[in-house]
Chains A and B, each alone.
Chain A
Amino acid sequence: MSIRVDAIRKRFGDFVALDDIEIDVATGQLAAILGPSGCGKTTLLRIIAGLETPDAGRVFLLGREATELPVQKRRVGFVFQHYALFRHMTVFDNVAFGLTVRPRRERPARAAIRAKVEELLGLVQLDWAAARRPAQLSGGQRQRIALARALAVEPEVLLLDEPFGALDTQVRQELRRWLRRLHDALHFTSLFVTHDQQEALEVADAVIVMRRGRIEQRGTPAEVYDRPATGFVHRFVGSSNELAAERRGGALLVGPLPPIASSGPDGRFSIVVRPQDLGLSRGGGGWPGRVVAVRAIGALVHVEVQLEGAGPDPVVAEFSRERFRHEGYAVGDAVFVTPARFGVYPPEELS
């Protein structure tokens, strides 16, 4: 195990930031910690890097205990959301920094440093920018420099804190795919923190979902998406519709709508169902409703349906363009809605 965190606890005053956290990231993996802001994900990453001290628990890097090791000795690469470049230095000096601050005995020769920096700048496709200063580069370019700087010291693990959080959508997408390719080419172990589920699902081998200082679920992106362990994960990962319901004697009731069969204890619950799992039909069974909006979003079409007598918000059903053209719903149509796959959770699991 490349990164192992054992029973980590951390509190800031009365606020419990991390409550008994355990994670394992296997060598060569690219793992993502996913969660809303304030869930403790960044604190956890900073504890692994040694930038923060845990109140209890232990950190292992490459199987060796690192809990007491100072930041300088942990050999972790850390990439900050806002780049944290040295703005008074050129791009070249930024990347070379980790090598030039080594004690004289361990410091590579000047020519070796130059070669290493040039290689890294080539790798991040910014060899032309060596003499520039960070302020002269765009956000995406700066983050690539920050990455090259972190890689210069040949870290054993790479930690990235919302690395693409400050960039616009297009650059984010480009950069995260590029990071994935880089990761595959260089075989380091990486752990990155994000609040963007799309980013986590697209890039990571393993996803750890956090909420309020605890881990909700860990697994591959497919597991987390297809088999959410809790209502929170179901709602947070991917988009979803949420309906308040009541279960009585094996029947789920959403307001006055026709009941659907569901086994389990009686009580109040929340139904979470993804837009693509919501079926529409013009006749037959299901919940009756009326189409209130149709929105074409790229290759997909969202049909919003107001269910009769249930909740103020319409539910969203998702179609491919092809299927939508075939079915051809329009605003005002009377339709029936059937949830094909859904989750039933206690309401408090969602908040």
Chain B
Amino acid sequence: MSTTARSLPFPTRRPRRVLPGFGLTLGYTLLYLSLVVLVPLTATLVKTAELGWGEFWTVVGAPRTRAALALSFSAAALAALINGVAGFVVAWVLTRYEFPGRRLIDALVDLPFALPTAVAGIALTALYAPHGWLGRLLAPLGVTIAYTRAGVVVALIFVGLPFVVRTVQPVLEELDREVEQAAATLGAARARIVARIVLPSVWPALLTGFALAFARGIGEYGSVIFIAGNMPMVSEIAPLLIVTRLEQYEYPAATAIAIVMLSISFFVLLGINALQGWSQRRLGPGGA
């Protein structure tokens, strides 16, 4: 038997796909992405090209633009960072403990998703204004939130929280409790179990949540403009600057700022993605 098998050429057969429709779905994906994402982006690029390099740099390099960009990105990063911590705690409480009102809190988390951002902005401004409920308490401590950069961060924290909670929560729910119990029998105290077992397992999800909250924060407009006060060079965010340019019919200048925001966002998100892929691989196959 084996002697005859040796003389035969090794058969090659094109493997059949178990899941059909690859061509169709890929085509659809490319068309959809082109219409929704690529075409508008190209239009932005084309509009920007109406400026020469020199003009482009004048717009982008202007101190007011640079300040707005710096504020947008740093406030978004800070808010996402705070949300990373707070969102983890909220997700932890919602998954680990049974208590009356848990369902209600769970539903409340989604509210920033649903609320029109302008409404959120007005509500936050009313709260943190010097005579608002919270502003009144903070004023004697010398802390002012409304109409400052801190106000920007507060608004971004509000809109970004659900992203972190909703990405971390399912992963926490899926965690094998026996793994934590194993750590406890080995003598690890609660805090150590969280730091060495739980956090590494939810880390990729936490990064995703951070990235989403960060991305949302960069583009956020409605809730911020009410509370920020929008002083050029101090509390003016980049999206507002874009709108300002648009209102002055300076379309190429507006798109130029947009292009810079897009590029920076793209590379930051790419970096976060890479980091996430790396930590995912560390978890091994079947990792959360």
B270 at the interface (CB under 8 A from A): no
Q: Do the beta carbons of B181 and A84 come within 8 Å of each other?
A: yes
* Nearest CB in chain B to that of A100: its residue: B196
- With A80-B178, A86-B197, A135-B284: A102-B185 Cβ-Cβ less than 8 Å: no
* Nearest CB in chain A to that of B180: its residue: A84
Q: Do the beta carbons of B179 and A72 come within 8 Å of each other?
A: no
* Nearest CB in chain B to that of A74: its residue: B185
Q: For residue B282, which residues in chain A have a CB less than 8 angstroms away from its CB?
A: 88
Q: Do the beta carbons of A101 and B284 come within 8 Å of each other?
A: no
Q: Per-position contact with A for B182-221: 1 when CB-CB < 8 Å, else 0?
A: 1111111100100011001100000000000000000000
Partner of A49, one of B176, B185, B196, B200: B185
Q: For residue A97, which residues in chain B have a CB less than 8 angstroms away from its CB?
A: 183, 186, 188, 196
* Nearest CB in chain A to that of B176: its residue: A84
B52 at the interface (CB under 8 A from A): no
Question: How far is it, in angstroms, between the C-alpha of A82 and the C-alpha of B179 when the chains are bound?
Answer: 10
Q: For residue A152, which residues in chain B have a CB less than 8 angstroms away from its CB?
A: 186
Partner of B185, one of A76, A86, A133: A76
Q: For residue B100, which residues in chain A have a CB less than 8 angstroms away from its CB?
A: none
Q: Do the beta carbons of B182 and A80 come within 8 Å of each other?
A: yes
* Listed residue (A78, A88, A133, A149) with the most chain B CB atoms within 10 angstroms of its CB: A88
Q: Per-position contact with A for B77-95: 1 when CB-CB < 8 Å, else 0?
A: 0000000000000000000
Q: For residue B192, which residues in chain A have a CB less than 8 angstroms away from its CB?
A: 101
Partner of B187, one of A49, A72, A87, A136: A72
* Listed residue (B187, B285, B287) with the most chain A CB atoms within 10 angstroms of its CB: B187
Interface residue range, chain A: 20 to 34
Partner of A51, one of B181, B188, B196: B181
A301 at the interface (CB under 8 A from B): no
Q: For residue B15, which residues in chain A have a CB less than 8 angstroms away from its CB?
A: none
Question: How far is it, in angstroms, between the C-alpha of A82 and the C-alpha of B178 when the chains are bound?
Answer: 9
Q: Per-position contact with A for B159-193: 1 when CB-CB < 8 Å, else 0?
A: 00000000000000000101101111111110010
Q: Do the beta carbons of B197 and A71 come within 8 Å of each other?
A: no
Q: For residue A77, which residues in chain B have a CB less than 8 angstroms away from its CB?
A: 185
B69 to chain A, nearest CB (A): 37
Question: How far is it, in angstroms, between the C-alpha of A124 and the C-alpha of B285 when the chains are bound?
Answer: 24
Q: Do the beta carbons of B178 and A84 come within 8 Å of each other?
A: yes
* Nearest CB in chain B to that of A149: its residue: B186
Q: Do the beta carbons of A78 and B182 come within 8 Å of each other?
A: yes
* Nearest CB in chain A to that of B186: its residue: A98
Q: For residue A73, which residues in chain B have a CB less than 8 angstroms away from its CB?
A: 187
Question: How far is it, in angstroms, between the C-alpha of A77 and the C-alpha of B185 when the chains are bound?
Answer: 7
A153 at the interface (CB under 8 A from B): yes
Q: For residue B283, which residues in chain A have a CB less than 8 angstroms away from its CB?
A: 87-88
Q: Do the beta carbons of A150 and B183 come within 8 Å of each other?
A: no
A180 to chain B, nearest CB (A): 22
B286 at the interface (CB under 8 A from A): yes
A288 at the interface (CB under 8 A from B): no
Q: Do the beta carbons of A51 and B185 come within 8 Å of each other?
A: yes
A85 at the interface (CB under 8 A from B): yes
* Nearest CB in chain B to that of A72: its residue: B187
Q: Do the beta carbons of A135 and B286 come within 8 Å of each other?
A: yes
Question: How far is it, in angstroms, between the C-alpha of A235 and the C-alpha of B282 when the chains are bound?
Answer: 49
Q: Do the beta carbons of A71 and B181 come within 8 Å of each other?
A: yes
Question: How far is it, in angstroms, between the C-alpha of A82 and the C-alpha of B189 when the chains are bound?
Answer: 22
Q: Do the beta carbons of B188 and A101 come within 8 Å of each other?
A: yes
A61 to chain B, nearest CB (A): 13
**Restricting to A145-177, which residues have a CB under 8 Å from any CB of B?**
146, 149-150, 152-153
A162 to chain B, nearest CB (A): 12
Question: How far is it, in angstroms, between the C-alpha of A326 and the C-alpha of B162 when the chains are bound?
Answer: 78
* Listed residue (A77, A78, A86, A150) with the most chain B CB atoms within 10 angstroms of its CB: A86
Q: Do the beta carbons of B186 and A150 come within 8 Å of each other?
A: yes
* Nearest CB in chain A to that of B282: its residue: A88
Partner of B179, one of A51, A84, A101: A84
Q: For residue A133, which residues in chain B have a CB less than 8 angstroms away from its CB?
A: 284
Having A78-B182, A86-B182, A152-B186, one finds 8 other A-B pairs with CB under 8 Å, namely A51-B184, A84-B181, A84-B182, A85-B179, A86-B179, A87-B287, A98-B187, A146-B182
Interface residues of B (CB under 8 A from A): 176, 178-179, 181-189, 192, 196-197, 200-201, 282-287
| A-B contact list, 18 entries, CB within 8 Å | A50-B185, A51-B181, A71-B181, A72-B187, A72-B188, A77-B185, A80-B181, A82-B178, A84-B179, A84-B182, A85-B182, A86-B179, A88-B200, A88-B282, A101-B183, A101-B188, A133-B284, A150-B185
